[in-house]
Amino acid sequence: MTIQTSLGRRGFVVGGATVAGGFSLGFSFPHATAQAAEVQEVNAWVVIKPDDTVVIRIARSEMGQGTLTGLAQLVAEELECDWSKVTTEYPTPGENVRRNRVWKNFSTGGSRGIRESHQYVREGGAAAREMLIAAAAAEWKVPASECSAANSVVKHGSGKTATYGHLAAAAAKLEPPKEVKLKDPKDWKVIGQPLKRLDTRDKLTGAMIYGIDYKMPGMLNAAVKACPVNGGKLKTFDAAKVEKMPGVKKVVSVDGNTVAVIADTWWNAKTALEKLPVEWDVGKSGNVQQDDITALLKEGLTAKEAFVGNKAGDVDAAIAGAAKKVEATYAFPYQHHVTMEPLNATVLYTADKCEVWCGTQNGEAALAAAAEAAELPVAKCDVYKLMLGGGFGRRGRADYVRQAVLIAKQMPGTPVKTLWSREEDMLHGLYHPTTMCKLTAGLDAQGNIVGLRVRISGQSILASLAPQSLQNGMDPATFQGFMPSGPEAAYGYNIPNLLIDHAMRNPHLTAGFWRGVNVNQNAVYMECFMDEVAEAAGVDPLEYRLKYLKPKYAAVLKAACDKAGYGKPLPAGHFHGISQVMGYGSYVAGVSEVSVSPDGVLKIHKITAATDPGYTVNPAQIERQIAGSFVYGLSAALYGEITVKDGVVEQTNFDSYNVMRMDEMPEVDCALVPSGGFWGGVGEPTIAVAAPATLNAIYKATGKRVRELPLMHQELKKGA
């Protein structure tokens, strides 16, 4: 398949002549005459070419999770088209603006790609199908009700047939149906199938164009260095020292806190940047040490004031009157996304136009950032989305787009690609927030939980990225996995007296949405503590959880345990740990099988997941997301840690920020247990069960409760 982008789409968008007729569902739009002849838009979602090729428009970004293929399946299901003829393309955010947001939300994060757009993309496919049927009925002068569609062909009872390619031009001129009826899930033929991804081949030959690969005639390259202390400023730099270096065109200041060298090649730009004398005004955060951050969070654990996220009954009274008290404090560090492809964007700026080519999780946010930085109306800007070499939440924010525009603006008329080095990426991340958590449970004489108090202390993502979205100062996302109700990330245990609150403590690093977000550490806190409480009650952790878990949570945990053979004999020295959570609308559970050698070497042999995402759109891709989620979650559990010295992030590259490799990869197994009736996400939730299941297994193997991550700092040796 091709993701049609860049110049091809550009021609499509800016092409002059308008073709008469309401093409899309109620909207017409400018259309290049030449392309109109060959490319027939039935509606906003579906273009059918005379050779029967079906081009499905995808508004969300593909960044590895298979969203593009899954969304195409949803449209194709209702369209009744031949899957082997399906290709996809991205509309641009600018087209979306011009067409009154016909493609709705472009944002791709929070595992929302499918679960938030399934309804309207299926309706788009169904409407196109009805229009194709109506076109055939009109041509044959028969009632549409006597016609049916399947496999890109419309048939009439008389035996007449017509292909979609033949009908598309006529269908495009018809009024779209006012209402469409979606198929009953039991009739699905494309949804639910383990279909191959549509975007694989070019990833095997070097042909796929990621943002970093994009080239334009006459393009220059910028290397950047921002003040190493977040919030600091650029004081001075001595451009004369590097201006004569090979390839260097210009040295520019950006936004008062960054310096950029623009050169013919990025390598020349980077080489010169390293030689550039720069002075920074690091500001007041320049003396922040890791210990200060730890102390700040510790103070929050017992602070009086806190935002209440979940409350039931009278927890203080319940715990005060309990026969037994269990208490533990956990800590979770800052972590980094480290997308494989470092951040970049290519920008062509002129006085009346600004165009951006980049990988982004949020095309519309990138467009808004570009327009703002360019000081041009949105209508004079556009963003052409390229493949992302990983997003994980990092490419949801358009800081790098804004920066690239500010640089290109200083070279009007010349395309400039701004690329961050890996070192720059490590220093200027949107870090997974650091928090601590103190949990106190009161048990009655029979070991039942009578009260549970959970105090989270630490950083809020919204306070960093979108303070306007705080609710009376509170960041509701902090409680992901702990929420009292809702379809998103609700707490699974029925506990009579409960208080979960958050003392917000915001250090100077910028926190961001990091794949799995706050479900990750909240699952560590709750699920590891649940094992501690079960032990205090003298009950097996599975049995104990099942006493308190709501039905869907319990079912998925049981499914994971069944699949893993929990409770059955394991090889000598192997131990199982379990965990469960609800996140991103899906119920997930994990069982980790580990051994720890007498000298403390941990091996994760196997990890088993169960997932109930309601409906499964593509089970093969869900399995890949589960395996990938375990890599992401276990990498963080084993190694993920960002620390600060003198206000600066200490980790610089993969040598100081390690991630899991092939030799550490456990066997992965999974049970998909879709219970139907809802649409949950699959790109993230499984991450959250990786660490707690593994930590609980480590306890069984060693008797050691690990309450602080990453594991690389923990001595697991016997007796240590």
Partner 1 sequence: MAVLNVNGKSLQANADPRTPLLWVLRETLGLTGTKYGCGIAQCGACTVHIDGVATRSCQVPLSSVSSGKKIVTIEGLAQDGKLTKIQQAWLDNDTPQCGYCQSGMIMAATALLAAKPNPTDADIDAAMTNICRCGTYKQVREAIHAAAKA
Which chain residues interact with ligand FES by CB under 6 A?
A: 64, 340, 390
Partner interacting with residue 440 (select from partner 1, ligand FES, none; CB below 5-8 Å by kind)? none
User: Of ligand FES, partner 1, none, which one does residue 246 interact with (CB within 5 to 8 Å by kind)?
Assistant: partner 1
Rg (CA), the chain: 27
Residue 9 is encoded by which pair of tokens? Answer: 């789409």
Query: Phi-psi bin for 517: left (phi > 0), alpha (psi -120 to 50), beta?
Result: left
Of the pair 223, 644, the CB lying nearest ligand FES is at 223
The span of 72-80, 316-324, 490-498, 624-632 binding partner 1 (CB under 8 A) equals 624-632
Using CB under 8 A as the binding rule, whether residue 665 contacts partner 1 is answered as yes
CB nearer ligand FES, residue 351 or residue 654: 654
Residues pairing with 577 in the sheet: 592
Return the range that interacts with partner 1 (CB under 8 A); candidates 290-298, 334-342, 467-475, 694-702. Answer: 334-342
Nearer to ligand FES among residue 17 and residue 340 (C-beta) = 340
Binding flag, residue 672, partner 1 (CB under 8 A): no
CB nearer ligand FES, residue 341 or residue 612: 341
Q: 521 is in the binding site of which of partner 1, ligand FES, none (Cβ under 5 to 8 A by kind)?
A: none
Q: Rounded CA gap, 652 and 637, in Å?
A: 19
Q: Which residues contact 307 (CB under 8 A, 6 or more apart)?
A: 473, 474, 475, 478, 501, 502, 503, 504
Q: What letters, b where the CB count within 10 A reaches 16 and e where it falls short, cover 262-297?
A: bbeebebbbbbbeebebebebbebbebebeebbebb
**Residue 632 binding partner 1, by CB under 8 A:** yes
- Whether omega for the bond prior to residue 666 falls within 30 degrees of 0, making it cis, is no
| Closest to ligand FES by CB, 97 or 209 | 209
Among positions 91, 333, 342, 685, the unique one binding partner 1 when judged by CB under 8 A: 342
Binding partner selected for residue 338 from ligand FES, partner 1, none, CB under the kind-specific 5 to 8 Å limit: partner 1
The span from the CA of 286 to the CA of 559, in Å, is: 50
CB of 357 to ligand FES, least distance (A): 20
How many residues line the site for partner 1 (CB under 8 A)? 59
Closer to ligand FES by Cβ: residue 392 or 566: 392
Pick out residues in 302-321 that bind partner 1 (CB under 8 A).
Answer: none
User: Which of 181, 203, 311, 718 is in the footprint of partner 1 by CB under 8 A?
Assistant: 203
Cβ closest to ligand FES, residue 320 vs residue 340: 340
Residue from 267, 287, 551, 713 binding partner 1 (CB under 8 A): 267
Q: Position 713: which residue type?
A: H
DSSP output for 155-198: EETTS-EEEHHHHHHHHHTSPPPS---PPPGGG-SSTT--PPPS
Burial 447-481 (b: 16+ CB within 10 A, else e): bbbbbbbbbbbbbbbbbbbeeeebeeebbbbbbbb
Among 150, 161, 175, 196, binds partner 1 (CB under 8 A): 196
For residues 469 and 547, give the distance between their C-alpha atoms in angstroms, rounded to a whole number. Answer: 37
Our CB check for ligand FES shows the closer of 16 and 206 to be 206
The least distance separating ligand FES from the CB of residue 632, rounded to whole angstroms, comes to: 10
**Nearest distance, CB of residue 389 and partner 1, angstroms:** 3
Question: Please, what is the minimum distance in Å from the beta carbon of residue 108 to partner 1?
Answer: 12
Closest distance to ligand FES from the beta carbon of 339 (Å): 8
- Shorter beta-carbon distance to ligand FES: residue 349 or 514: 514
**Toward partner 1, which CB reaches closer, 514 or 615?**
514
Q: Which is nearer to partner 1, 195 or 461 (CB)?
A: 195
Edge-first strand listing for the sheet containing 435-443: 307-312, 498-504, 449-458, 435-443, 324-332
CB of 619 to partner 1, least distance (A): 12
Contact between 192 and partner 1 by CB under 8 A: the answer reads no
Q: Which of 516, 682, 686 shows the shortest CA–CA distance to 615?
A: 682
Interacting residue with partner 1 among 30, 659, 704, 717 (CB under 8 A): 659
Is 619 near partner 1 (CB under 8 A)? no
Any contact of residue 389 with partner 1 (CB under 8 A)? yes
List 616's β-bridge partners, or say none.
Answer: none
Cβ at position 340, least distance to ligand FES in Å = 4
To which H or E segment does residue 205 belong?
A: helix 202-205
Stretch that binds partner 1, among 160-168, 350-358, 386-394, 457-465 (CB under 8 A): 386-394
Residue 49 interacts with, from ligand FES, partner 1, none (CB under 5-8 Å by kind): none
Choosing from 655, 703, 715, 719, the residue that interacts with partner 1 (CB under 8 A) is 655
Among residues 390, 487, 496, 619, the one that binds partner 1 under rule CB under 8 A? 390
Three-state secondary structure string covering 598-664: CCCCEEEEEEEEEEECECCCCHHHHHHHHHHHHHHHHHHHHHCCECEECCEECCCCCCCCCCCCHHH
Q: Which of 89, 116, 123, 341 binds partner 1 (CB under 8 A)?
A: 341
Judged by beta carbon distances under 5 to 8 A according to partner kind, the member of ligand FES, partner 1, none in contact with residue 619 is none
Task: Return the residue matching tokens 């195409």.
Answer: 72
| Residue 338 CB, nearest approach to partner 1 (Å) | 6
Q: Does 631 bind partner 1 (CB under 8 A)?
A: yes
Q: CA 256 → CA 117, 236, 298, 417, distances in Å?
A: 40, 10, 34, 20
- Least distance from ligand FES to the Cβ atom of residue 684, Å: 15
Beta strands 449-458; 498-504: pairing state: parallel
Going by C-alpha positions, the residue among 70, 45, 81 that lies closest to residue 620 is 70
Q: Which phi and psi (to 5°) does residue 417 adopt?
A: -95, 125
DSSP characters for 73-108?
HHHHHHHT--GGGEEEEPPPHHHHHHTTSTT-----
- Chain Cα centroid distance, residue 35: 34
Q: Is 206 in the site for partner 1 (CB under 8 A)?
A: yes
Q: Is there a contact between 90 and 4 (Cβ–Cβ < 8 Å)?
A: yes
- Alpha carbons 241 and 362: distance in angstroms, whole number: 39
182/208 with CB nearer partner 1: 208
Which is closer to partner 1, CB of 205 or CB of 471?
205
Q: What is the contact mask toward partner 1 in residues 411 to 430, using x (rule: CB under 8 A)?
A: ----------xx--------
> Which is nearest to 635 in space by CA: 597, 605, 665?
665
Q: How far is the CB of 606 from ligand FES (least distance, A)?
A: 22
Distances (CA, A) of 224 to 355, 404, 614, 651: 20, 10, 45, 18
Binding partner of residue 196 among ligand FES, partner 1, none, CB under 5 to 8 Å per kind?
A: partner 1
The least CB distance from residue 343 to partner 1, in Å, is: 12
Closest-CA residue to 362 (of 390, 403, 392, 396): 396
On the 0-12 / 13-18 / 19+ scale of CB atoms within 10 A, 240 is exposed
Residue whose CB is nearest to ligand FES in the complex, by number? 340
Q: How many residues does the chain have?
A: 720
Work out which of 45, 587, 630, 679 binds partner 1, going by CB under 8 A: 630
| Chain residues in the site for partner 1 (CB under 8 A) | 63-66, 196-197, 199-210, 212-213, 215, 221, 246, 265-268, 338-342, 387-392, 421-422, 620-621, 624, 627-632, 653-655, 659-663, 665, 668
